[in-house]
Structure 1
């Protein structure tokens, strides 16, 4: 158990678990360092965004777009993969290309280093057990830490990168990703390519599309989807961690339950972590039940099988979707490159590569996983609430917990008195 308890979120911790502001929500969430380094190798800046170092990420992404485009590096890579080596050499601007190497390597190294440091800070923040203010109200916005669905964030970023980040509560990140996506699509003539592809006009695509800018899109698209998914998951975990701390401190402050008296009922109900937990406690107190007769405690879940979907619910930084999205990124880039010379064009082949790479990466992750896998995660035990109150409040108590979305409840039967 943590050795230090903070009773007020006004006390600034030495190691913060997270922060909520008008700019968005961020948390010190552990990440596997080599996965972080891989995202930086895929696109400098992605690795830093992956671990929540957004300012570093923005700077490196802007650097990548400027220097790569000036060096014509994407164009040279595409021609090299097609075996047109002399053309690849001719198109490459060597002055800008030489500037590219050092920062590219730095991005990979620094994202790995930062991931290691973040993992250490996460452990120290858990030891300190400092609270996180679950909301921030300002003139510009109202930001509240609550539970959201990760697949919804993924879906919105699939339709337009940046929308999933806005859904997760990351206002600045979502705005940046959305603006960056629109700008690159405009420079690449991607919307025209999309329309011509789905109208079957494949022959005109190589002339329409700007190869240099178009090859930014597969990596951007795949990462925007995945980052939105992981961002929602991280915020959900931060909510759980903070509510667990609040409930434990509350239970310690109130002490033990009084012994049950005659003409009382003893209710046991279960809830998922959400704002409903704190709301139902308030509702029960309004019925006249003393606070010391209401115990709310988070439950420790036993180890469960790994799920293919929504697997980042545990604070270990790993998911089977890591490998799946890596595969999607690699094969979507290759699909776009070879799509310039294949009949269906870069858009269709890029999407085929995205889907095929996702399945290949997922299969590899499943094959390497040592745990049993399930497609969807089952319901987890999260919070148990025990209430002792007068029997006359029984019906009102049941109505209150049903209104606040209890997952189940039971009244403990009275023990029979024995006579000697």
Structure 2
């Protein structure tokens, strides 16, 4: 969240915080460079998508699907983990494998570098308090920046990767992820293997599935879950940033630092960042309250704690699900590999690896995190809303504030100088 006071609405900032268009919502959001590098290790292109560099990510993902498949790299990795080294060497196509190495290393290096650049750009955009346009209407789509539930995004990606991204507002990204998921599942015969596994026919699941294509799925699935979760969280924070700037500009334009010298009572309410804040302002203006008698300003966050879980009302602290998703990816891949030779097959062992790796990664994050932890951040007020009105109006105005989801209201007599 921006902590600097807005300077002037006439100054055009040089660094952007985010952009909303028919193609989706994107923002400059600070990210740990090591996490971006890890996702590039798991699957080239994922690190760039994690940072919002979607075009770069699409190119590397397509490259990975083509070159990895031509080199039979996934099959070689699976056979190597099973100790079948001679078969692994025979399976690999060295002509394609040599093309793989340079781009793979580049993806890791460049995603780390881009994360550092994004963090710098975010800091500079904070200094300039750059504006964000909160909606975009075109012939093809209507894109609106609004608060959404991160866990809803994760749920829809769990049902089918890509749906969570569409829920977050990223139409192009969601379409791409959904298309590549369908294609890889088809090539891997994954749906038939899933059906056989849950019917208990593990031998048929192992026989029919294509190892080379199937090993793409664990990393793709976990990343789709996490990227949907992170994307919704980032959009929620972008909404907070945009509304914070709007309220500051509004207060500056109305000259609300001046003393109000009329009226009988002041009503003070608190809100979380949401469209209801601006709705409440418009409601008061329609009821005849002068604009300069309505003050709405954002609170500054004095303490940012680390939380295990974020939700629509809890996006002001750093989530520590990064480590959990790293663990989920690693152990889902391992479960899938060894599932080809274990009794329950790759589907069941992949899901077991997903759950086990998630909680193991979470425990490791908790063990190494030095800050005071809470399971989830408590709901707290983010906007102070004050209006000056006549005594006869206060009951009706309080009802309006309640209908607009104010978290608290107090009535105070106006103090005259």
TM-score, normalization by structure 1: 0.95
3-state SS of paired residue (2:325): helix
Assess, with a 3 A threshold, how the Cα gap between structure 1 residues 260 and 13 changes in structure 2: closer, same or farther. closer
Deviation of the 1:237 alpha carbon: 0.6
What is the correspondence of 1:71-220 to structure 2 with a 5 Å cutoff?
71-220=71-220
Deviation of the 1:210 alpha carbon: 0.1
Match of 1:313 among 292, 312, 315: 315
C-alpha distance in 2, partners of 1:91/1:333? 19
3-state SS of paired residue (2:301): coil
Contact 2:31 2:119 in 1 (8 A): yes
Deviation of the 1:412 alpha carbon: 1.3
C-alpha distance in 2, partners of 1:398/1:380? 20
Assess, with a 3 A threshold, how the Cα gap between structure 1 residues 385 and 4 changes in structure 2: closer, same or farther. closer
Contact 2:6 2:245 in 1 (8 A): no
3-state SS of paired residue (1:124): helix
Contact 1:272 1:383 in 2 (8 A): yes
What is the correspondence of 1:210-359 to structure 2 with a 5 Å cutoff?
210-255=210-255, 256=257, 258-261=259-262, 264-310=264-310, 313-314=315-316, 319-359=319-359
Contact 1:271 1:384 in 2 (8 A): yes
Deviation of the 1:338 alpha carbon: 0.1
The equivalent of 2:409 in structure 1 is 409
Deviation of the 1:414 alpha carbon: 5.8
Contact 2:269 2:407 in 1 (8 A): yes
Contact 1:260 1:388 in 2 (8 A): no
3-state SS of paired residue (2:202): coil
CA displacement 1:4-41 (0-9 Å, x = unmatched): 4335xxx8642111000000000000111111111101
Match of 2:9 among 2, 6, 9: 6
3-state SS of paired residue (2:322): helix
C-alpha distance in 1, partners of 2:6/2:136? 28
The equivalent of 2:64 in structure 1 is 64
Contact 1:162 1:174 in 2 (8 A): yes
Assess, with a 3 A threshold, how the Cα gap between structure 1 residues 390 and 3 changes in structure 2: closer, same or farther. closer
Q: Which runs of 5+ in 2 are unaligned?
A: none
Deviation of the 1:234 alpha carbon: 0.5
3-state SS of paired residue (2:87): helix
**4+ residue runs of structure 1 moved beyond 6 angstroms?**
none
C-alpha distance in 2, partners of 1:281/1:174? 35
Q: Does 1:386 align with 2:386?
A: yes
3-state SS of paired residue (2:296): strand
Contact 1:194 1:347 in 2 (8 A): yes
C-alpha distance in 2, partners of 1:216/1:375? 33
Q: Which runs of 5+ in 1 are unaligned?
A: none
CA displacement 1:138-182 (0-9 Å, x = unmatched): 000000000001111011101110000000000000000000101
The equivalent of 1:32 in structure 2 is 32
Contact 1:268 1:386 in 2 (8 A): yes
RMSD value over aligned CA atoms?
1.7
The equivalent of 1:23 in structure 2 is 23
C-alpha distance in 1, partners of 2:414/2:240? 33
Assess, with a 3 A threshold, how the Cα gap between structure 1 residues 113 and 347 changes in structure 2: closer, same or farther. same
C-alpha distance in 1, partners of 2:18/2:150? 19
C-alpha distance in 1, partners of 2:383/2:129? 19
C-alpha distance in 2, partners of 1:142/1:58? 24
